[in-house]
Structure 1
Amino acid sequence: MTRIDFHTNIPDKLAYACRLARKAYAARAKVVVLAENAAQAEELNASLWTVSDLDFIPHVLAGDPLAPQTPIVITFEESAELPHHEMLVNLTRRTPANFTQFARVFEIISTDEEDAAEGRKRYVAYKKQSYPLTHFVAGQS
């Protein structure tokens, strides 16, 4: 069953997604990042090139011929053909249609009240379906 981790109170979802991608890559995990739209996907693509002066985080947009060999794949289309199903990082305000294909889902919820309200709805929906949930609140120890 898919494990779902909620990370809430995140001030910058893109920067956070970059750090998660870097950590996953260091652990040799494969990740799909689901962006809200094409603009956010492009912004994330650009951000991954500059996340650190010392780190190279191999990534491509879904549909790229190198996607099957690349550990980080970015998409905004849920219907995209995805080569990896290990981890999904959800930056959207919706429940991904294909989340059950993944072993683990990270729901990234910002400090924005509308984003937080949508995140709470997803949490309740996942809980009603008995998915294993964890909750990490940024800024709290």
Structure 2
Amino acid sequence: MTEVAFHFNAPDKLGYACRLLRKAYGTGAQVVVTGEPEVLRELDVNLWTFGSLEFVPHCLGTERDERVQARTPIVLSGLPRSSPHQQVLVNLGHEVPEGFERFERLIEVVTNDGADRQQARARWKHYADRGYAIVRHDLAEQR
């Protein structure tokens, strides 16, 4: 069963996602990031400019060559179900990601914005109602 973790109180969702993906890449994890198309495009740009001395290899899920996606450790995709990776799914979106249950881990990134928190509560309830154990990480406590 998928391990579900909520990372609450991210001051900047995309900035936090960049740090999270850098760490995941460092451990050798294969990650799919999902969310709205405009968020994924912005994350793509941020990953290219995140650190001047660091490179976080990634590709967009729209890459037509499936071999590129399979060989790239981080795939940004609005359709995580079609990704070749099944290890970690990071959700930057507002909905329960379709096909999340095929991943070993799901990480939900939530800001302190009221609307974002409300939508996160609905996703939490969705996972809890289906018997998923949920881990809560309060990022405000880690600062």
Q: Who is 2:23 aligned against?
A: 23
Report sequence identity in percent: 39
Q: Who is 2:61 aligned against?
A: 62
Q: Who is 2:126 aligned against?
A: 125
Q: Which amino acid aligns with 1:76?
A: G
Q: Who is 2:41 aligned against?
A: 42
Q: CA deviation at 1:44?
A: 0.5
Q: Who is 1:73 aligned against?
A: 75
Q: Which amino acid aligns with 2:30?
A: K
Question: Higher helix share goes to which structure?
Answer: 2
Q: CA deviation at 1:35?
A: 1.9
Q: CA deviation at 1:78?
A: 4.8
Q: Which amino acid aligns with 1:96?
A: P
Gaps of 5+ in 2: none
Q: Who is 1:111 aligned against?
A: 112
Q: Who is 1:85 aligned against?
A: 86
Gaps of 5+ in 1: none
Q: CA deviation at 1:127?
A: 1.3
Tell me the distance in 1 between the aligned counterparts of 2:10 and 2:56: 21
Tell me the distance in 2 between the aligned counterparts of 1:10 and 1:17: 9
Which runs of 4 or more aligned residues in structure 1 lie more than 6 Å from their structure 2 counterparts after TM superposition?
Answer: none
Tell me the distance in 2 between the aligned counterparts of 1:62 and 1:125: 26
Scaled by the length of structure 1, what TM-score is found?
Answer: 0.93
Q: Name the CA shift for 1:78/1:56 in 2 (closer, same or farther; >3 Å).
A: closer
Scaled by the length of structure 2, what TM-score is found?
Answer: 0.92
Q: Who is 1:4 aligned against?
A: 4
Give the match's secondary structure for 2:5: strand
Q: Which amino acid aligns with 2:128?
A: K
Give the match's secondary structure for 1:17: helix
